[in-house]
């Protein structure tokens, strides 16, 4: 009964979505409040039924009901409970169900907390949400139904892909989907504004927190995915410019741009039309990401099964929503009231610059990801656009962006003072120069660009701190006053500081890891010693062990530092999963500060040696610590429930003469 | 029936969600408006000024800006949606009461399987009874071992059953665990090798051979290990060496060794001398019995075998052994009848039938 109830709940959710997609629009047209309010209760009921459906599928996985085809194909009764639950979305059908669940969740949140929205705006927003939901319910029910049954239930399932049997599966996909689907809210708001032909002040007030929430989740999701690939795939790499990764990076870049332009809109009532376009583009890129990953166009760990009908169906959804919303934009954008004006050198101007760089970077990734695919379709040639392309195009775009980043928060709204801002960034610039000089001296003869990049990162971090010093008047006012001001600072300001510093921190990690990474690749026999990055690793022995549904070959390394003191034991392993007849590498990581030693096992060589890959990765953890800081900054800003007001700089007033209070 | 009742309840809930707002139409509905937000913003500026976050002139400028927007908004405040479109409401009510269930039925009926009950794994593992199929018992033991993976005795019991069910990969895993947790013995190593051979469809792989070698190292007289080492040698294309191994086995073994016929058969296959002269021990043992005793003993063994095969007819080697026994006892008709029973029992098992044919040929039953 569980399976059928879940199935029927999904069908009911579709029926409700269809009603939610039409009735409120009619209601807004005939100006009937009751009809518009149908959107609210329908959205809440739809959320309820989707949750029932998702809960039912989870229950089927937990009880290993092998009369459901999806469970047979992706589960195993011996699997640990955690992987039974995460296995629900570790496959195509289940992950799409998670997708619509999150979509319904956001719709339900708008319905539940949208009381302060103008009625017709709320009706339109929820209707647009329902259009998206309808398309995806149909997609699930017609091409990827997780509730289909089999008449002859087998005794055992085929188990989950071993690579996915990891704690990462519990975090990475839900986070990423919260990010992808979270952008659907700003999309729905944008389309609703276009339909209504006007943008309320409430519009801006609502879009920013939703965008911020989606952005936080996407940031964490991408960082988690990157760390997962780093320790699970056994290559020690953390970013491959793989199309699937790019698919998540594109919405992140445009989402970051959207986040900043939404701030301008909320605080200054400017950049309205541009924000709407960005909202449409960001969700379109999320849909594109879903298409790339789920259609089977790309082969990767993310493509669970390839089925041409699914690809065509998602492509159809993609065309209708992206084409439709952009056409609507082209038609209606001119009807929208233009917002406030500002001088080029102002906080607004800095944020426009930020938007320009971010969208250009996004376009670069877009071309690098889709050009090979398009070329293959047109001419049949297979080309691979990899790291060299992105390093050549992406990096030059990010350098000026990061150079400009510290200036932004220091400029005043409406009219800025670049000289004053530069002056206040002097300390950060000096710190950056010192860092560069020290590194240059220390690594003379090494890569010449690395010290420059580190200098840039220090400048970004220093800039973020300068902003804080400036606002609290630390070093100028008495310490107690500064502390009092620091307490009075809006949490949103602290959020900016953390998020911007996070970018610098991540950059330090990236530069250090790519420049000063040392490795040892070779075969070791028991007793053999490899020296990497000043650490000596001795292979003590190889043992076998039995896990619940796999058999592991474990190598034990004892690690000594430069002084010969033993600092730890590392046990990388290879796991063989019989049910899928496949194996995974479990890399061993030894963390020293922010640096890591990384050992992964290869094959056993003919003469009985164990081939190993050992890396020493200096400051590698900063790569993920940076995004964590960014997300933390985002959370701080999100927790600040106050309204955002950007006080404009009145004309004709010399900044330098202004008293403190 | 319960299922349809639940479906009806769910449909009713969905329809209610659509109908509910329609009933409370004329009452004032909460609706946010722009003016509220601008007044909130003005209040926010006051708070910022008192916290010392923005300077007075800046605050004044902001206040002017927002007040200007507030005035515009107040002028153009949209008339509260007052229209009550009874016609549309009626259409929506019909949609909720008829359209929604119809739509749900139209999608669910072709896709769903309302007649099927749930089949969770736990339900298949009820308490053990005599009638319960072997599979369920195995599943129970497996579930137990999942929770107590270090129970060596459990693995030892489970492994041969799995091998019997032709689940060789699982059997190999179980034997490995038995060796890990219950200790290494020659027999377990040999059984593991046999399971690995089963995984490879009867080919003695290098992994399997390693296991047999380990078994033989632990106990040089382990018959299974030696037989399979011979088989490995044969599969390497060295028939003569294989024959030597098997002949040595037969020479050393007692007359009542159960595996004697299997080895003899293998020997015949590689073209070695079919029957080595009976060993001294065998002659001594047999001569210690009188004719009647010996026949009775053999009859007893044969009947036991026949009863077992009647219960489980998939054991080709068993059938061949039975036929051979009847031949030895001089009962050709019984042997023929056993062959017929075997064919009936094996049914569609093509591989088994082929092996049976080969065996029958070597017995010379039809010649």
d(CA A491, CA B50): 17
Q: Can you state the angle between helices A92-113 and A33-62, rounded to 10 degrees?
A: 140
The rounded distance, in Å, linking the Cα atoms of A350 and A333 is 24
Task: Name beta bridge partners: A595.
Answer: A592
Q: What pLDDT, on the 0 to 100 scale, is given for residue A410?
A: 84
Q: Find chain A residues with C-beta within 8 A of B21's C-beta.
A: 34-35, 37-38, 40-41
Angle between helices A449-472 and A387-404 (to 10 degrees): 30
- Using a CB-CB cut-off of 8 Å, the residues of chain B touching A65 are 118-121
The pLDDT of residue A146: 93
The pLDDT assigned to B278 comes to: 44
Grouping H, G, I as helix, E, B as strand and the rest as coil, residue A419 is: helix
Tens of pLDDT, residue by residue over B193-218, are: 988 888 887 788 888 888 898 888 88
Q: Are A406 and A459 in contact (CB under 8 A)?
A: yes
Which tokens is A598 given? 């990384």
Which residues, 6+ apart, have CB-to-CB distance to B125 below 8 Å? Answer: B136, B139, B140, B143
Cα–Cα separations (whole angstroms), residue B59 to A6, A420, B52, B91:
56, 20, 10, 53
pLDDT digits (tens, 9 = 90+) for B2-46: 889 999 999 999 999 999 888 765 454 556 667 777 888 888 888
Give the CA distances from residue A531 to residues A237, A535, A600, B279, in Å, rounded to whole numbers and listed in that order: 20, 6, 15, 64
Q: In 3D, which of A263, A123, A234, A92 has the Cα closest to residue A189?
A: A123
Q: What is the pLDDT of residues A213-260, one digit of tens each?
A: 999 999 999 999 999 888 888 777 888 888 888 889 999 999 999 999
Residue pointed to by tokens 């061993």: A588
Which pLDDT tens digit goes with each residue over A176-203?
Answer: 999 999 999 999 999 999 998 878 667 8
Per-residue pLDDT at A184: 94
Q: In chain A, which residues have their Cβ closer than 8 Å to the Cβ of B39?
A: none
Handedness of CA A484, A485, A490, A492 (dihedral sign): negative
A326 confidence band (pLDDT: 50, 70, 90): very high
Residues of A in contact with B136 (CB under 8 A): none
Q: Which helix (H) or strand (E) holds A341?
A: none
Helix H, strand E, coil C: the string for chain B is: CHHHHHHHHHHHHHHHHHHHHHHCCCCCCCCCCHHHHHHHHHHHHHHHHHCCCCCHHHHHHHHHHHHHHHHHHHHCCCCCCCECCHHHHHHHHHHHHHHHHHHHHHHHHHHCCCCCCCCCHHHHCCCCCCCCCHHHHHHHHHHHHHHCCCCHHHHHHHHHHHHHCCCHHHHHHHHHHHHHHHCCCHHHHHHHHHHHHHHCCCCCCHHHHHHHHHHHHHCCCCHHHHHHHHHHHHHCCCHHHHHHHHHHHHHHCCCCCCCHHHHHHHHHHHCCCCCCCCCHHHHHHHHCCCHHHHHHHHHHHHHHHHHHHHHCCCCHHHHHHHHHHHHHCCCHHHHHHHHHHHHHHHCCCHHHHHHHHHHHHHHCCCC
Q: What is the mean pLDDT of the segment spanning A255-271?
A: 86
The domain total for chain B is 2
- Residues of A with CB below 8 A from B57's CB? 650, 653
* A599 strand-pairing partners: A588, A614
Residue B154 is predicted with a pLDDT of 85
Chain A: give the shortest CA distance to residue B122, in Å: 7
pLDDT band at B129 (very low <50, low <70, confident <90, very high): very low
Question: Taking CA A475 as the corner, what is the angle to CA A473 and CA A479, rounded to the nearest 5 degrees?
Answer: 80
Query: In what helix (H) or strand (E) does residue A356 lie, and over which residues does it extend?
Result: helix A347-379
Task: Name A601's Cβ contacts closer than 8 Å, sequence gap at least 6.
Answer: A234, A553, A555, A572, A573, A574, A585, A610, A611, A612
**pLDDT of res. A656:** 40
Predicted confidence at residue A653, as pLDDT, reads 45
Triad A218, A224, A227: Cα angle to 5°: 145
Q: How confident is the model at residue A263 (pLDDT cuts 50, 70, 90)?
A: confident
Question: Which range has the worst mean pLDDT, A251-255, B254-258, B303-307?
Answer: B254-258
Mean pLDDT of B350-367: 76
- pLDDT at A661 > cutoff 50: no
In a domain, B185, yes or no: no
User: Which residue in chain A is spatially nearest to B45 when comparing CA positions?
Assistant: A645
Q: For residue A300, is pLDDT > 60?
A: no
In this prediction, residue A448 carries a pLDDT of 67
- Cβ partners under 8 Å of residue A142, min gap 6: A313
Cross-chain residue pair A30–B85, CB shorter than 8 Å: yes
Residue A14 CB partners (closer than 8 Å, separation 6+): A134, A137, A138, A141, B103, B107
Residues of A in contact with B117 (CB under 8 A): 1
Q: Find the residue in A nearest to B34 (Cα).
A: A201
ipTM surpassing 0.85, yes or no? no
Question: A467-506 pLDDT, tens per residue?
Answer: 888 888 777 778 888 888 788 788 888 999 999 999 999 9
Longest Cα–Cα distance in chain B: 126
Rounded mean pLDDT, B305-309: 79
Task: Report the residue from A4, A37, A118 with minimal CB separation from B114.
Answer: A4
Q: What is the mean pLDDT of residues B180-189?
A: 87
> Which tokens belong to B34?
């722009």
Distances (CA, A) of A122 to A115, A129, A185, A258, A444: 9, 11, 11, 21, 61
Query: Six-digit token pair at A452?
Result: 């420059």
Cβ pair B54:A647 closer than 8 A: yes
The nearest CA of chain A is from the CA of B306 a distance in Å of 31
**Residue B140 maps to a domain:** no
Neighbours of A77 (CB within 10 A): 23
A568: which strand partners? A559
pLDDT at B314 over 70: yes
Where among B69, B95, B111 does a domain terminate? B111
Residue B65 is assigned to a structural domain of this protein: yes
Task: Work out the pLDDT band at A41, boundaries 50, 70, 90.
Answer: very high
Sign of CA dihedral B330, B331, B336, B340: negative
Query: B-chain residues within 8 Å CB-CB of A490?
Result: 53
Helix (H) or strand (E) holding A241: none
| A658: enclosing H helix or E strand | none
Residue A66: which of B66, B80, B121 has the nearest Cβ? B121
Which chain B residue's Cα is nearest to A77?
B121
| Of residues B81, B118, B142, nearest to A3 (C-beta) | B118
Instruction: Check residue A178 and give its pLDDT.
Output: 93
Question: Pairing relation of β-strands A551-560 and A573-577?
Answer: antiparallel
Q: What is the pLDDT of residues A161-181, one digit of tens each?
A: 787 888 888 889 899 999 999
Question: Does pLDDT of B248 surpass 90?
Answer: no
The pairs formed by B342-345 with CB atoms below 8 angstroms and a separation of 24 or more are: B342/B309, B342/B313, B342/B316, B344/B313, B345/B309, B345/B313, B345/B314, B345/B319
Question: What is each CA distance from A16 to A424, B27, B102, in whole angstroms?
Answer: 56, 24, 12
Please report whether residue B103 resides in a domain: yes
Collect all residues of chain A within an 8 Å Cβ-Cβ radius of residue B7: 5, 8
The pLDDT, as a whole number, for residue A303 is: 55
For A427-436, write each residue's pLDDT tens digit: 788 888 888 7
Three-state secondary structure call for residue A554: strand
Do the domain assignments include residue B204? no
| Domain stops at, among B111, B126, B159 | B111
Specify the pLDDT at position A586: 87
Task: Supply A381's token pair.
Answer: 């040639």
Higher-scoring residue by pLDDT: A294, A80 = A80
What tokens were used for A444?
Answer: 């003379």
- Between CA A322 and CA B71 the distance in angstroms is 37
C-alpha A106/C-alpha A108 separation (Å) is: 5
Could you read off the pLDDT of A80-136 as tens digits, one per residue?
889 999 999 988 899 999 999 999 999 999 999 888 788 888 999 999 999 999 999
Q: Cα A473 to the chain's mean position, in Å?
A: 35
Query: Which CATH number goes with the domain that contains B324?
Result: 1.25.40
User: How many whole angstroms from its chain centre is CA A262?
Assistant: 18
What is the C-alpha to C-alpha distance for residues A105 and B79, in angstroms, rounded to an integer?
A: 31
Q: Which of A8, A269, A340 sits opposite B108 (nearest CB)?
A: A8
The model's confidence at residue B104, banded by pLDDT at 50, 70 and 90, is very high
Work out the burial of residue B100: count CB atoms within 10 Å of its CB; fewer than 13 is exposed, 13-18 middle, 19 or more buried: buried
Is the Cα dihedral A187, A188, A193, A199 positive or negative?
negative
Q: What is the pLDDT of residue B127?
A: 46
H-assigned helices in A144-268: 168-196, 201-232, 243-268
Average pLDDT, whole number, for chain A? 85
- Domain interval for residue B326: 275-367
Q: What is the pLDDT of residue B30?
A: 53
Pairing of strands A518-524, A610-617: antiparallel
Distance CA A104, CA A512 (A): 42
Residues 6+ apart with CB under 8 A from B171: B159, B160, B162, B163, B195, B198
Q: Is residue B256 part of a domain?
A: no
Range in A368-377, A593-602, B97-106 the model is least confident about: A368-377
> Among A113-127, A227-241, A300-314, A341-355, whose mean pLDDT is lowest?
A300-314
The Cα of B252 is separated from the nearest Cα of chain A by a number of Å equal to 36
Long-range contacts (CB closer than 8 Å, 24 or more residues apart) made by B40-45: B40/A643, B41/A643, B41/A645, B41/B66, B42/B66, B42/B67, B42/B70, B44/A642, B44/A643, B44/A645, B45/A645, B45/A647
DSSP state of A548: S
**Cβ within 8 Å, pair A12-B118:** no
Look at residue A234 and give its three-state secondary structure. coil
For residue B182, tell me if it sits in a domain: no
How far is the alpha carbon of B1 from chain A, nearest alpha carbon, in Å? 11
Give the three-state DSSP class for A277. Answer: helix
Of all residues in chain A, the one with the smallest CA distance to B46 is: A645
Read off the pLDDT of each residue in A353-378 and give the average, rounded to a whole number: 87
| Residue numbers in B near A12 (CB within 8 A) | 10-11, 14, 100, 104
Q: Which of A1, A9, A647 sits opposite B62 (nearest CB)?
A: A647
Beta strands in A533-578 (DSSP E): 535-546, 551-560, 566-570, 573-577
Question: Do A201 and B108 count as a contact with CB atoms less than 8 A apart?
Answer: no
Contact present, A524 and A601 (Cβ < 8 Å): no
The reply to whether B127 falls in a domain is: no
Q: pLDDT confidence of B130, banded at 50, 70, 90?
A: very low
Q: What's the pLDDT score for residue A124? A: 93
Q: Which of B79, B111, B143 is the last residue of a domain?
A: B111
Spatial separation of the C-alpha atoms in residues A118 and A133, rounded to whole Å: 23
């Amino acid at each position: 009964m569980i399976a059928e109830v879940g199935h029927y709940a999904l069908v009911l959710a579709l029926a409700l979505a269809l009603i939610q997609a039409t009735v409120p629009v009619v209601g807004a047209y005939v100006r009937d409040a009751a009809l518009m309010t149908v959107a609210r209760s329908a959205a809440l009921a739809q959320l309820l039924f989707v949750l029932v459906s998702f809960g039912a599928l989870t229950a089927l996985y937990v009880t290993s009901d092998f009369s459901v085809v999806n469970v047979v194909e992706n589960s195993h009764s011996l699997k640990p409970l955690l992987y039974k639950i995460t296995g629900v979305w570790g496959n195509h059908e289940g992950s799409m169900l998670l997708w619509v669940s999150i979509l319904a969740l956001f719709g339900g949140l708008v319905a539940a907390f949208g009381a302060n929205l103008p009625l017709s705006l709320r009706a339109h927003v929820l209707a647009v949400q329902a259009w998206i939901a309808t398309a995806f319910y149909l997609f699930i029910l017609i091409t990827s139904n997780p509730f289909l049954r089999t008449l002859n239930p087998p005794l055992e399932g085929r188990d989950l892909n071993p690579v996915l049997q990891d704690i990462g599966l519990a975090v990475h996909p839900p986070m990423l989907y919260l990010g992808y689907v979270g952008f659907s809210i700003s999309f729905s708001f944008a389309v609703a504004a276009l339909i209504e032909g006007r943008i309320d002040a409430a519009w801006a007030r609502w879009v920013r927190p939703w965008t911020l929430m989606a952005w936080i989740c996407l940031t964490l999701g991408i960082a988690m995915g990157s760390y997962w690939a780093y320790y699970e795939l056994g290559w020690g790499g953390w970013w491959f410019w793989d199309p699937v990764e790019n698919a998540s990076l594109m919405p992140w870049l445009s989402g970051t741009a959207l986040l900043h332009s939404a701030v301008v809109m909320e605080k200054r009532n400017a950049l309205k039309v541009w924000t709407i376009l960005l909202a449409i583009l960001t969700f379109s890129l999320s849909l594109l990401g879903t298409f790339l990953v789920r259609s089977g166009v790309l082969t990767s760990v993310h493509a669970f099964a390839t089925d041409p009908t699914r690809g065509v169906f998602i492509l159809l959804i993609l065309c209708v929503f992206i084409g439709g919303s952009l056409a609507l934009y082209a038609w209606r954008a001119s009807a929208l009231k233009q917002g406030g004006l500002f001088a080029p050198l102002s906080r607004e101007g800095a944020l426009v610059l930020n938007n320009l760089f971010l969208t250009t970077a996004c376009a670069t990734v877009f071309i690098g990801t889709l050009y090979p695919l398009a070329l293959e379709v047109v001419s049949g040639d297979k080309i691979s656009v990899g790291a060299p392309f992105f390093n050549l195009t992406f990096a030059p775009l990010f350098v000026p962006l990061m150079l400009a980043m510290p200036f932004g928060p220091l400029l005043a709204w409406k009219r800025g003072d670049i000289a004053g801002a530069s002056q206040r960034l002097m300390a950060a610039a000096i710190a950056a120069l010192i860092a560069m000089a020290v590194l240059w001296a220390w690594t003379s003869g090494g890569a010449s660009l690395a010290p420059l990049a580190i200098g840039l990162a220090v400048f970004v971090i220093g800039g973020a701190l300068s902003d804080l010093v400036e606002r609290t008047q630390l070093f100028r006012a008495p310490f107690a006053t500064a502390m009092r001001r620091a307490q009075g600072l809006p949490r949103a300001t602290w959020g900016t500081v953390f998020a911007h510093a996070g970018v610098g921190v991540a950059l330090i990690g990236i530069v250090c890891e790519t420049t000063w990474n040392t490795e040892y690749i070779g075969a070791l026999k028991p007793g053999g010693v490899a020296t990497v990055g000043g650490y000596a690793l001795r292979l003590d022995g190889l043992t076998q062990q039995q896990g619940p549904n796999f058999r592991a070959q474990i190598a034990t390394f004892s690690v000594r530092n430069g002084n010969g003191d033993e600092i730890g034991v590392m046990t990388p392993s290879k796991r063989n999963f019989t049910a899928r007849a496949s194996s995974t590498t479990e890399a061993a990581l030894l963390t020293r500060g922010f640096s890591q030693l990384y050992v992964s096992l290869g094959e056993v060589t003919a003469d009985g040696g164990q081939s190993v890959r050992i890396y020493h990765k200096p400051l590698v953890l900063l790569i993920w610590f940076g995004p964590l800081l960014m997300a933390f900054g985002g959370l701080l800003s999100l927790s600040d429930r106050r309204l955002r007001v950007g006080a404009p700089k009145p004309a004709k007033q010399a900044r330098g003469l202004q008293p403190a209070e | 029936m319960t299922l349809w009742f639940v479906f009806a309840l769910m449909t009713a809930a969905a329809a209610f969600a659509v109908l509910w707002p329609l009933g409370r139409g004329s009452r004032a509905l909460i609706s946010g408006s722009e003016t509220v937000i601008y007044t909130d913003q003005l209040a926010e500026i006051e708070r910022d000024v008192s916290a010392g976050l923005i300077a007075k002139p800046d605050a004044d400028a902001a206040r002017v800006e927002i007040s200007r927007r507030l005035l515009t908004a107040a002028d153009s405040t949209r008339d509260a949606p007052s229209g009550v479109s009874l016609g549309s409401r009626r259409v929506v009510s019909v949609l909720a009461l008829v359209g929604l269930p119809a739509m749900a039925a139209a999608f669910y009926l072709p896709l769903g399987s309302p007649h099927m009950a749930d089949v969770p794994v736990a339900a298949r593992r009820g308490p053990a009874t005599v009638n319960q199929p072997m599979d369920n018992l195995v599943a129970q033991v497996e579930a137990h071992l999942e929770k107590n993976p270090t129970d060596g005795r459990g693995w030892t019991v489970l492994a041969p059953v799995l091998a019997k069910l032709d689940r060789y990969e699982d059997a190999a895993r179980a034997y490995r665990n038995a060796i890990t947790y219950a200790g290494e013995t020659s027999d377990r190593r040999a059984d593991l090798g046999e399971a690995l051979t089963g995984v490879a469809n009867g080919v003695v792989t290098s992994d399997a051979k390693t296991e047999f070698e380990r078994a033989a190292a632990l106990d040089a007289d382990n018959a299974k290990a030696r037989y399979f080492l011979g088989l490995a040698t044969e599969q390497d294309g060295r028939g003569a060496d294989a024959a030597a191994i098997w002949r040595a086995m037969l020479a050393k073994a007692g007359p009542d060794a159960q595996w004697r016929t299997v080895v003899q058969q293998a020997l015949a296959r590689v073209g070695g001398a079919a029957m080595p002269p009976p060993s001294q021990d065998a002659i001594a043992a047999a001569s210690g019995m009188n004719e009647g005793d010996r026949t009775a003993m053999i009859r007893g063994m044969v009947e036991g075998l026949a009863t077992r095969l009647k219960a489980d007819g998939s054991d080709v080697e068993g059938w061949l052994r039975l036929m051979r026994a009847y031949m030895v006892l001089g009962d050709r008709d019984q042997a023929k009848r056993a062959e017929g029973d075997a064919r009936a029992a094996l049914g569609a098992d093509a591989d088994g039938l082929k092996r049976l044919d080969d065996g029958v040929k070597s017995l010379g039953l039809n010649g």
